[in-house]
Every structure is written in C-alpha cells, then in structure tokens.
Chain A
C-alpha cells in the first residue's frame, strides 16, 4: 500500500495538454481520411475498413511517439485508443458523405 505512486505525482496540466494533442491529431486525421475515402469512392464496409485501418495506424504512431511507455504521458493506454471514438467516427462519416456526394453523385 505504500508502494503505489500517489495520483498527485502526475501533473494534471501536462496530462490535459497531452490529451488535447491526441484529440487534435485524431480528429484531423479522421477528417482527411473521410475526404480521401469520399474522393476515392469507397462505399459501405470498405470505407469503414479504411477508417479502422487509419485508426489503428494513428494509435500505433501514438505508441511509437511515446516510446511504448504510455504510463509516463497519459493516465491509461485505453484512453489513447478509445478517447475520441465517437467524435472521430462522426467527423469521418460527415466528410466521407460530403466528398462522396460532391465527386460521385453530382
């Protein structure tokens, strides 16, 4: 019980900054991948597969950037992977629809 790291040894400000950075990158990449998906013309499952691939790629790059030691920079590894699942997916879908329509339907 005395061997645990007290929660106060992590600076809340720095962690918040880290989370903001990964949020920013994640959303930006979702938007760009959505646009790319729409322009290329993937539909249905292929588009979602593309998005999941990009999600995994982004998560991998986060791990590599932190040197595989995520506990040093974030409170949990689960957070790194699932933090922006819903906003990211929604942004992807919106831009995918937009660009798909502009390029292929009209």
Chain B
C-alpha cells in the first residue's frame, strides 16, 4: 500500500538513529561522570540519625535503663550542637546548592538538546508524507497532531507522519533501553525529569537542622517496655486454652 522505499529510507533510518542516540548518550554519561565525593561528616550524621530512628521505633523491646542510656548518648554526644564560629556554618550549605544546580542544569541540557535536535531534523527532512499506519484507530481529534504537514482531509487517522513515529519511538525505546542497557541509565529521561523536580532538595539539607529535629523527637518520645505485659497479652490472644 505504501512505497517500500519509504520503509527503507525513512522508517529504518529514524529507528537506527534513535537507537544509536540512546546508546551514545549512555556511554557519554558514563565517560563524563566525575566521581562524587561524599564527606565523612555527612555520612556520619546520616547514620547517627538512622540509629536514633531505630531506637525510637524499637525502643519498646529494651528495659528503661538501657533505653535511657542510649537516649542520653544521642542527646548529649551525637547531636551536640556545634559551638563553633557562626560565620563558618552557613557557608557550606550555600555553596552546595549552586554547584548542584549547575550540574543538574548541565545534565538536563545534555539530555534535552539531542532530543530537540532530532525532533527538528525529523520534521524538517521527513515531512509531507505518510510514513506508518498505526494498527489501531483514533478519533478525528488526533488528526492535526498526528498528521502534521499532510494536507489530505479525508485520510484515515491511522496514517501518520514521521514526527509522530519519532514520538512513538521515543516512548517505546525507554522500555527497551532499560532492558538492554541496564536500569537507571542516562537515557531514561522521563524518570530524570521527575527526579530533577525532587532532586535539588536532597543533598543540600543542613545536617545541623536534622540533628536538632531528631534530638527533639528523642526527647519527647515516650518509652514503654512491653516485655512485662507479654504474659497477659499472650493470654488474651490464646484465651481459649
């Protein structure tokens, strides 16, 4: 029904180009990644906070003295507010945000630009004719979107232009890349875009504030040792014996 040369010279090339673009982008991101150095202080603070959370969650399993001992360690030693020069503290969190934003913007630039380029290339060179037929039919509302550049008003909505083939490939290759190239690769862009919305909030947290918050939580936590009441609880559950 359609000219086989379209298949040879349009369908397959766009397919190959998009696939290679994904592969190249993956390898580029691997080559250009600089090793991230995490500071010891950050890791230390993170693990202390985790330990304190665990204490609060499972504290009911240990007697009061043991719990108090641990609580005192956390409140007095681990989460002690540093009494250093005030000028030094605010600087570190302020430097990190600008560095993070710069890196994220750079990454987003590298992801978005090839996409825009390819989209423009596809719609410039391969416009004006029908390239694929979708196996399913859509309503007439989709016609101007899917058949950009084709002026036939009576043509079935299933016949689409190359730009919509580009979008279909874009969507479909996400799954394929996650299988072929390994998950969490650089090519999974929609996930990247989601991450970027939540991303900048992550590593820039001031761990002093976190320590303070955790300390307050610990101080107001009510401890109740459940082992003495285990016998009566057991009787409640098995009260038919």
A contact set with B: CB distance below 8 Å: 2, 6, 8, 20, 23-24, 27-28, 30-31, 37-38, 42-45, 47-48, 84, 87-88, 90-91, 93-98, 100-102, 105-106
CB pair A94 B173 closer than 8 Å = yes
Contact count band on B: 20 to 34
17 A-B residue contacts at CB 8 Å? A2-B226, A23-B178, A27-B175, A30-B175, A31-B176, A43-B136, A44-B137, A91-B172, A93-B171, A94-B172, A97-B134, A98-B11, A101-B133, A102-B7, A105-B2, A106-B4, A106-B6
B168 within 8 A of A: yes
8 Å CB contact of A91 from B54, B136, B165, B176:
B176
Q: How far is the CA of A73 from the CA of B175 in the complex (A)?
A: 23
CB pair B179 A94 closer than 8 Å = no
CB pair B171 A23 closer than 8 Å = no
Query: Distance in Å from the Cβ of B185 to the closest Cβ of chain A?
Result: 12
Would you give the 0/1 interface string for B177-189, flagging 1 where the beta carbon is closer than 8 Å to chain A? Answer: 0110001000000
B57 within 8 A of A: yes
B contact set with A: CB distance below 8 Å: 1-2, 4, 6-7, 11, 15, 54, 57-58, 60, 132-137, 165, 168-169, 171-176, 178-179, 183, 226
**Shortest beta-carbon contacts, A-B, top 9:** A94-B172, A91-B175, A87-B175, A90-B171, A27-B175, A106-B7, A100-B135, A43-B135, A27-B179
Query: Distance in Å from the Cβ of B232 to the closest Cβ of chain A?
Result: 13
CB pair B169 A94 closer than 8 Å = yes
Query: Which of B57, B174, B226 lies at the interface centre, i.e. has the most chain A CB atoms within 10 A of its CB?
Result: B174
A-B pairs with beta carbons under 8 A, tally: 79
Query: Which of B1, B15, B173, B175 lies at the interface centre, i.e. has the most chain A CB atoms within 10 A of its CB?
Result: B175
Query: Which of B6, B135, B169, B178 lies at the interface centre, i.e. has the most chain A CB atoms within 10 A of its CB?
Result: B135
CB pair B172 A93 closer than 8 Å = yes
Closest to B5 in A: A106
Q: How far is the CA of A24 from the CA of B179 in the complex (A)?
A: 6
Closest to B136 in A: A44
User: In the complex, given contacts A23-B183, A27-B175, A106-B2, what are 5 additional A-B residue pairs having Cβ atoms less than 8 angstroms apart?
Assistant: A6-B58, A90-B175, A98-B15, A102-B7, A106-B6
Contacts of A37 in B (CB 8 A): 135
Query: Distance in Å from the Cβ of A15 to the closest Cβ of chain B?
Result: 14
- Chain A interface SS verdict (over half): helix
Closest to A100 in B: B135
Query: Which of A6, A37, A45, A98 lies at the interface centre, i.e. has the most chain B CB atoms within 10 A of its CB?
Result: A98
CB pair B133 A94 closer than 8 Å = no
Query: Distance in Å from the Cβ of B76 to the closest Cβ of chain A?
Result: 26
Known: A6-B58, A106-B7. A97 touches B132 (CB 8 A): yes
Contacts of A102 in B (CB 8 A): 7, 11
8 Å CB contact of A47 from B7, B136, B183:
B136
Contacts of A44 in B (CB 8 A): 135-137
Closest to B3 in A: A106
Contacts of B133 in A (CB 8 A): 100-101, 105
Known: A43-B136, A93-B172. A28 touches B7 (CB 8 A): no
CB pair A47 B135 closer than 8 Å = yes
